Amino acid sequence: MSVQVSPLNLERYELKYLIPLEMVKPISQFVESYCSMDYYSVISPDHFYTINSLYLDTPSYYLLRFKESANAFSFNMRVRSYGMGTEPPYFFEVKYKLRDFVRKKRARTGPEWKNILENDVIPEGLDAYSLENIRDFMHLKMTYNVGPVILTQYRRKAYLSQIDDYARVTFDRDLRYQEMQDWCVTPNESLLCHYDHPDSFEEPGCTVVLELKCEKKIPLWMVELIRRFELVGGSFSKFGNSMATHLNIPEVLSPGILYR
C-alpha cells in the first residue's frame, strides 16, 4: 500500500466540486482503480485525517481583499499541522493561484516553527527545498507584515495516482474555524465553529469539497470521473469562506470572495 505524500514544490491544476457526503464512497471506489491512499489516510482508522491551517494576513486583510479583486492572480500564506497540532512536522506554505493553476511551495519544520516566525531564526539541518522555501516565506512575511488571523480545520481523505507522474484526489469535510491571533496551530475544540453550511456552500446538501489535482494535462480517468458522476465545477476558498463567515460583514467582504 502506498505511503506517498505530496512533494514540497508543486505546480498543478486544481478542479473543485461541492458534493454530498454520500457521494464520497462511490467516487472513492472509482478512484481506487487508479490511485492509492496517501500516507496520512493509510494510517487513519476511518481514512480521514485532520488538517489544521493557520492563515496569515495583514491587519487590514490585504491578502483576503486581493483575492476579491478583479485580478486572476492571488496568494495565501499558512502554517499547517496535522492531528491535534501538538507534534511535528509543521509546514510553512505559500500558495500562488492563477485561475485554476496553482504553484505551491512548502517548507517542512519541526518543534522550532514558532521560533522561526517570532525571532526570524532559521534552524540548521533543513533540506534544500525547505530551506529555500522557508526563506521565501519569511521574506513575504516581512514584506507584507502579515500575522495570524484565523485557524481552520477539516478532515481529509486523499489519494495519489499510481499511473500518472502526479495526480491527486482529495475529499474535505467537517470544515471548521476559530479566530487566532497567536502563533498557534493547535485548535481549541470549544472555540471551533462550522462554516460548511448552506450560506457558505450555496449548494443544499453538498458539504464535502472534492478536489482533482493534476499537472499540465488532465488524466483521462479524471475526465471519466467528472462525466460519470456529472460533476459541476466551481471553486471554494477555505481561507475566504472561513474569514467571510467569521467577519460576517458584507460591506467588507462581498459574496464574490467566497468562490474564487
Which CATH number is 174's domain given? Answer: 3.20.100.30
Residue 2, in any domain of the structure: no
pLDDT of 254 = 41
**pLDDT lower than 50: segments of the chain:** 1-4, 251-260
CB-side neighbour CA atoms (13 Å) of 6: 23
The answer to whether the beta carbons of residues 170 and 51 sit under 8 Å apart is no
The residue segments making up the domain with residue 30 are 9-257
169 three-class SS:
strand
CB-based contact 137:77 (threshold 8 Å):
yes
pLDDT at 217: 87
pLDDT at residue number 199:
63
- For 198-235, write each residue's pLDDT tens digit: 666 667 788 999 999 998 889 999 999 999 999 998 87
- pLDDT value for 178: 97
**Per-residue confidence (pLDDT) for residue 252, from 0 to 100:** 39
Is the residue at 100 inside a domain?
A: yes
Q: Is residue 230 part of a domain?
A: yes
Spatial neighbors of 192 by CB under 8 A, at least 6 apart, are: 153, 176, 177, 178
pLDDT for 65: 87
What confidence score (pLDDT) does residue 175 get?
96
Q: Is residue 36 part of a domain?
A: yes
On whether residue 211 sits in a domain, the answer given is yes
**219 falls within a domain:** yes
Q: How many independent structural domains does the chain possess?
A: 1
DSSP 191: G
Which residue type is seen at 241?
N
Report if residue 4 sits inside a domain.
no
